[in-house]
């Protein structure tokens, strides 16, 4: 056992003395030490159930002959931080969470771990830490929130609500389409209890990703946070971690293969999931030492249609999909179409074996066959061009637009853009450009949900495009281009854009270009927003969004160096090929 390094032999007597002070006896000290790591916090519903869920995991570990060692780490909740300076902390928190799990588990030489996660950054962080440590690991998502329901006065049945509806109600309120009472009613009923945001937003997308990577048992992450069955899932995961340790089951780096990553990318495409999954899967691949780049996501999206009718573009929440059969429905359809490959999993059975054994209702209407999709291709595409020589992501779900051209309205912060939207200064045909919000420039690569939701609330979602070196929430829909790289703060071409420039976005040709000779312009500059502390350190160390916005060295540093050289050559070529003014 790894833990023997801290507990075995006469020289470890001081360590054992301290362990005894925590309540462990000789028998408990002799057993394997299994970490139970959770991101519990009472600041939001996303993680508020994890401390209780941890107790069920502990029982499972204990029953299987292990000694649970529990600790928690941080969480920054995007839905609360969104639109504020606090949102700068969200993406950096992914690195801090991964670092803290690595340091605490590695520092105590623990033998295995169960990681309990809730909201957006906690989920990829857990997978990143698992890849670094490479010990027997099971990851369990705390679960989705149930949909809220706002009472109606017209006799119609209340419609399901998520936090997405609240953000969009802000835009509707600014446009005068609803009054103060209407906004308050939506706010008061959208989030009924524990659980992460209810559509196929980032949390539920990444929870599904964990399943398709084989790091979570199929079906366990689907169970809503308040469902009594979640406790049983926690207990089973505790037992499963011990089985992996006892039987020499697959460790994370064994599971995190190119095949598994491709499966996950196709699941994101099939469910029109959050574009943040691209950023996070690149980071997970980086930590696992697997070569995986942006073009993998283009291939996944081009070959995998949207088959799940999920919010934000569709009808159903994650809890409603669970009631109709859950992730197994998606897995079976992709398997039947030959779009995913079988892989090993932490459950001890292959992914296909789990999908075949899953119990699902005989009839459902949330997931359609690949032969009869909701949309013929996935919910995003990877573009390159004058403004994004390293690449960017265009979100396609929820609209049928594949080409947009308009005049640039350039803003150097999210706040400035939001103020313009709220003032009704953005009109149909505009391309709203928000720059200096990338990983380094933000710092922290904030999500632009406040802006995009306000545009939707004003009825402009199909008439305005938005381009940013920041990110989008999984709840975003409309014609949105994010993750523009290189970012403005690192001298990317987006820093040379000016108000009134004609920007052309063409999904068919996979281009984002501007009718201006950018080579003749000096890029705009902005003083660092943060000069000390964790955010300044993140800004100094973070890499390009096109490679996951990671801060730690990975096993493929030579690959990263090659990628940087390629990106540099692409930047030079794109500058030379700028379309005429």
Catalytic residue IDs: 473
Looking up tokens 């061009």 gives 385
- Give me 435's structure tokens: 């720059």
Cite the DSSP H helix spans in 316-399. Answer: 318-324, 327-336, 351-357
With contact defined as beta carbons under 8 Å apart, do 437 and 445 qualify? yes
Termini Cα distance of the chain: 67
Which residues does 408 contact at the CB level (< 8 Å), separation at least 6? 430, 431, 433, 497, 498, 499, 500, 501, 502, 503, 514
With contact defined as beta carbons under 8 Å apart, do 190 and 163 qualify? yes
With contact defined as beta carbons under 8 Å apart, do 416 and 506 qualify? no
575 preceded by cis ω (within 30°)?
A: no
What gap in Å lies between CA 454 and CA 271, rounded to an integer? 24
Q: Report helix, strand or coil for 306.
A: strand
What gap in Å lies between CA 263 and CA 142, rounded to an integer? 22
What gap in Å lies between CA 511 and CA 274, rounded to an integer? 21
Please write down the HEC assignment for all residues of 378-427. Answer: CCEEEEECCCCCCEEEEECCCCCCCEEEEEEEEECCHHHHHHHHHCCCCC
Indicate the helix (H) or strand (E) that contains 431. strand 430-434
- Beta-bridged to residue 468, according to DSSP, are 434
**DSSP letter string, 76-113:** --HHHHTTSGGGGGHHHHHHHHHHHHHHHHHHTT-SEE
With contact defined as beta carbons under 8 Å apart, do 447 and 471 qualify? yes
With contact defined as beta carbons under 8 Å apart, do 488 and 435 qualify? yes
What gap in Å lies between CA 414 and CA 450, rounded to an integer? 9
With contact defined as beta carbons under 8 Å apart, do 38 and 51 qualify? yes
With contact defined as beta carbons under 8 Å apart, do 94 and 124 qualify? yes
What gap in Å lies between CA 180 and CA 514, rounded to an integer? 41
312 preceded by cis ω (within 30°)?
A: yes
With contact defined as beta carbons under 8 Å apart, do 404 and 479 qualify? yes
In the chain, count of helices (H) and strands (E)? Answer: 22, 14
Q: Centre a 10 Å sphere on the Cβ of residue 565 and count the other Cβ atoms it contains.
A: 10
With contact defined as beta carbons under 8 Å apart, do 432 and 464 qualify? yes
- Beta-bridged to residue 434, according to DSSP, are 411, 468
- Give me 21's structure tokens: 């002070």
With contact defined as beta carbons under 8 Å apart, do 227 and 290 qualify? no
């Amino acid at each position: 056992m790894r833990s023997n390094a801290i507990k075995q032999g006469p020289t470890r007597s001081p360590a054992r003395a301290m362990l005894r002070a925590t309540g462990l006896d000789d028998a408990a000290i002799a057993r394997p030490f299994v970490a139970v790591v959770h991101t519990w916090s009472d600041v939001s519903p996303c993680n508020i159930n994890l401390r209780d869920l941890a107790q069920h995991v502990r029982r499972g570990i204990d029953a299987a002959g292990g000694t649970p060692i529990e600790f928690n780490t941080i969480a920054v909740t995007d839905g609360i931080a969104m639109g504020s300076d606090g949102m700068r902390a969200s993406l950096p928190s992914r690195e801090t969470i991964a670092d803290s799990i690595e340091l605490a588990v590695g520092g105590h030489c623990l033998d295995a771990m169960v990681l309990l996660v809730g909201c957006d950054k906690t989920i990829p962080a857990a997978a990143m830490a698992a890849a670094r440590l490479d010990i027997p690991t099971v990851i369990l998502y705390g679960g989705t929130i149930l949909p809220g329901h706002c009472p109606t006065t017209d006799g119609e049945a209340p419609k399901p609500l998520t936090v997405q509806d609240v953000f969009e109600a802000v835009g509707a309120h600014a446009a005068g389409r609803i009054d103060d009472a209407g906004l308050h009613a939506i706010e008061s009923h959208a989030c009924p209890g524990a659980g992460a945001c209810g559509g196929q937003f980032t949390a539920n997308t990444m929870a599904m990703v964990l399943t398709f990577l084989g790091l979570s048992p199929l079906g366990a992450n689907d169970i809503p946070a308040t469902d009594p069955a979640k406790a049983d899932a926690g207990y089973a995961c505790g037992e499963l971690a011990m089985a992996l340790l006892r039987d020499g089951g697959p460790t994370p780096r064994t599971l995190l293969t190119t095949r598994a990553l491709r499966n996950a990318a196709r699941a994101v495409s099939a469910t029109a999931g959050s574009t943040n999954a691209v950023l996070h899967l690149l980071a997970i691949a980086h930590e696992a030492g697997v070569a995986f780049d942006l073009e993998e996501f283009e291939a996944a999206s081009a070959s995998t249609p949207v088959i799940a009718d999920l919010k934000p573009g569709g009808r159903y929440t994650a809890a409603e999909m669970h009631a109709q059969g859950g992730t197994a429905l998606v897995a079976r359809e992709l398997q039947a179409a030959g779009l995913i490959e079988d892989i090993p999993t932490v459950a001890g059975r292959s992914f296909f074996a789990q999908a075949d054994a899953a119990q699902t209702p005989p009839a459902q209407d949330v997931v359609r066959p690949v032969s009869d999709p909701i949309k013929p291709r996935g919910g995003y595409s990877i573009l390159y061009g004058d403004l994004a020589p390293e690449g960017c992501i265009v979100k396609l779900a929820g609209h049928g637009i594949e080409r947009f051209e308009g005049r640039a309205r350039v803003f150097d912060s999210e706040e400035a853009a939001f103020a313009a939207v709220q003032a009704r200064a953005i009109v149909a045909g505009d391309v709203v450009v928000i720059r200096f919000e990338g990983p380094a420039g933000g710092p922290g690569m904030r999500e632009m949900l406040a802006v995009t939701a306000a545009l939707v609330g004003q009825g402009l979602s199909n008439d305005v495009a938005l381009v940013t070196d920041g990110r989008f929430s999984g709840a975003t829909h409309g014609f949105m281009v994010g993750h523009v790289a290189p970012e403005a703060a690192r001298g990317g071409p987006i820093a040379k854009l000016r108000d009134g420039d004609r920007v052309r976005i063409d999904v068919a040709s996979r281009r984002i270009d501007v009718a201006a000779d950018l080579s003749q312009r000096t890029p705009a500059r902005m003083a660092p927003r943060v000069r000390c502390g964790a955010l300044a350190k993140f800004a100094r160390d973070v890499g390009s969004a096109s490679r996951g916005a990671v801060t730690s060295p990975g096993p493929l540093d030579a690959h990263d160096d090659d990628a940087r050289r390629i990106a540099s050559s692409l930047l030079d070529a794109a500058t030379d090929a700028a379309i005429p003014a």
